[in-house]
Every structure is written in structure tokens, then in C-alpha cells.
Amino acid sequence: MEDDDLRYDTWIEDALRDVIKRALNHTAANGLAGEHHFYITFNTQEEAVQIPGYLRAEHPDEMTIVLQHQFDSLIVTDEAFSVSLRFSGKPEYLHIPFSAITAFADPSVNFGLQLKMMSFNDDEAQEEKGFWLDNAEAAVDETEVEIDDGDEDLDEDTEETGKIIALDAFRKK
């Protein structure tokens, strides 16, 4: 896949990161309405991540922050966002590049994204890490969705709700 000109996996992740940028830009301009709030998980080891040393020591690989009631100075650029959050009552500045984000969720509307897709031929990594959306269940409730295979009509009373699906299920191995 490395030599392939059609990098669908990369394009999809870029598009998903654009969704996150738009949500954060909207929030920076308008605030969070209603019950909206964001869980943002990011890789703390990525070079451009700026967080206090004690937070990096507590979260050496990955950290999840929540943007809900008490955040200040949300600034969004094309490459990153920065925000001031309180940890143990003390305000701390965080600068997080979009490339470091591994998950994003707004549980108020049952929405979640999982990033950092595995390569197509990485069967060992898939077995080791499990299905790439396993961890998304903690942030977003997952419900069943019926799929119409064309053989029978869907019941009109069937309630369809959102479900996170992995594109890996449709890839050749």
C-alpha cells in the first residue's frame, strides 16, 4: 500500500480530521450549545504536542481531555488547536496537533470518530490491537442498525440509530 497512489486510508483520515476542525472552529466561534461536549483522545508522544510535564508523566502514551463547561482560549488553526483547561483547579495550556488525535466523540449526539487506521496487510497488529473501534464504545454508546440486503423490506417501525463502523471490514487482506 505504501507505493499506491490512491491512498484512500490517508484521505479518509484527513476528511475525518476536517470534521474535528470544523466542530472545534464552530465551538471557538459560538461556544457549545445544549448538552454538546467533546472527548478528544490524543497521542502525548507526538513531537508537536505541548502539555505540562506532569500530565505527560501521568499519561505517557495517550490522554483524553473533555471540552464541556470549563475551558478557555480555544484557538483552532489548520494544523492544531490549543485550549486552556483546569487540572486540580490550576489552568494549564495544551497545544494539540490534529495529527496527534486518535479519537473524537460528542456523546450528546452519539457521534464518535476513531483515527489512526492500520495498514491493509498488518494482520498481526490487528490481532494485537483488536478491531480498531473497540475503544470507541467507552465514549459513545453503540446500538444496532439493521441492514437491508434487498431480500425483504425493513419494518417501518424499526428505529435506526447511529453505529460506528470500521472501513477495515470492507478491505482486502
120-169 pLDDT per residue, tens: 444 444 443 444 344 444 434 433 333 344 444 444 444 444 545 455 55
In a domain, 2, yes or no: no
Instruction: Give the percent of the chain with pLDDT over 90.
Output: 47
Q: In degrees rounded to 5, what are phi and psi of residue 30?
A: -120, -10
Residue 75 makes CB contacts below 8 A (sequence gap 6+) with 28, 81, 82, 83
Residue among 4, 16, 47 at smallest CA distance from 112: 16
Enter the pTM of the model. 0.65
In a domain, 1, yes or no: no
Residue 87 makes CB contacts below 8 A (sequence gap 6+) with 52, 55
In a domain, 96, yes or no: yes
Q: Which residue has the higher pLDDT, 145 or 16?
A: 16
In a domain, 3, yes or no: no
Range of the domain at 119: 8-170
**What CA–CA distance (Å, rounded) separates 173 from 3?**
16
102-120 pLDDT per residue, tens: 999 999 899 999 987 544 4
Q: What is the CATH number of the domain that holds 149?
A: 2.30.30.220
Total of domains in the chain: 1
Q: What is the pLDDT of residue 51?
A: 94
Tell me how far CA of residue 124 lies from CA of 41, 74, 118, 119, 136, in angstroms: 24, 39, 10, 11, 21
Amino acid at 72: D
Residue by residue, DSSP assigns 107-135 as: GGGTEEEE--PPPTT-HHHHHHH-STTGG
Q: In degrees rounded to 5, what are phi and psi of residue 43?
A: -80, 115
What is the 8-class DSSP label of residue 158? P
Length of the chain: 173
51-73 pLDDT per residue, tens: 999 999 999 999 999 998 888 89
Q: What is the pLDDT of residue 49?
A: 94
Q: Which residue has the higher pLDDT, 94 or 124?
A: 94
pLDDT > 90? residue 42: yes
